[in-house]
Copies of this chain bind each other. A is one copy, B any other.
Amino acid sequence: MSDVTTGENLLFLTDEQLRQGIEAMYFAYRGFTADPDRILAGMAYGRAHHRAIHFINRAPGTTVNNLLLLLGVTKQSLNRVLRTLIEDGLVESRVGTVDKRERHLFLTEAGEALERRLSDAQRARMRTAYRTAGPQAVAGFRQVLEAMMDPDMRRRYHAMRESGA
């Protein structure tokens, strides 16, 4: 351990440092959502639709229940969003083959097109930020974010990474 991490030199843990971190998180999240929000503003969609599309793309064939756990909203709330996406032909809902109670969700071609448009914008900002800060900083960024998650979310986040990559 270096001297910054021990004794009275825990300078990165002062209240002022923590407050600045909180504000940085707040302002950065605004930037993080700004580009997709702008794209969606024109259509009849919002951030809720984006989140659904994102996770259906990440885990094609996921069930409604699984999506519910990832998004942390009520089924009534998700249902409203999902219904419009299905009606508009962006998402397809297939009855489960092994368990017919389940609905498996997939993006249609139109859904994938919108997903790409949204995630291109979001990744472009992320890429610029990553490039500006450099690989070391990115590693630290990821470490702190992970430590900030609730344990449940951290589990789901890891599960997603394993199946995804």
Chain A: residues with CB nearer than 8 A to chain B?
Answer: 2, 4-5, 11-13, 15-32, 34, 51, 54, 58, 72, 119, 122-123, 125-150, 153-154, 156-157, 160-161, 164-165
Contact in complex: A24, B130 (CB < 8 Å) = no
CA A3 to CA B55, docked complex, whole Å: 33
Contact in complex: A19, B143 (CB < 8 Å) = no
Q: How many copies does the complex hold?
A: 2
Q: Which of B5, B19, B51 contacts A119 (CB 8 A)?
A: B19
Contact in complex: B130, A165 (CB < 8 Å) = no
- Which 3 pairs show the lowest CB-CB distances between chains A and B? A140-B140, A137-B140, A129-B147
CA A134 to CA B9, docked complex, whole Å: 13
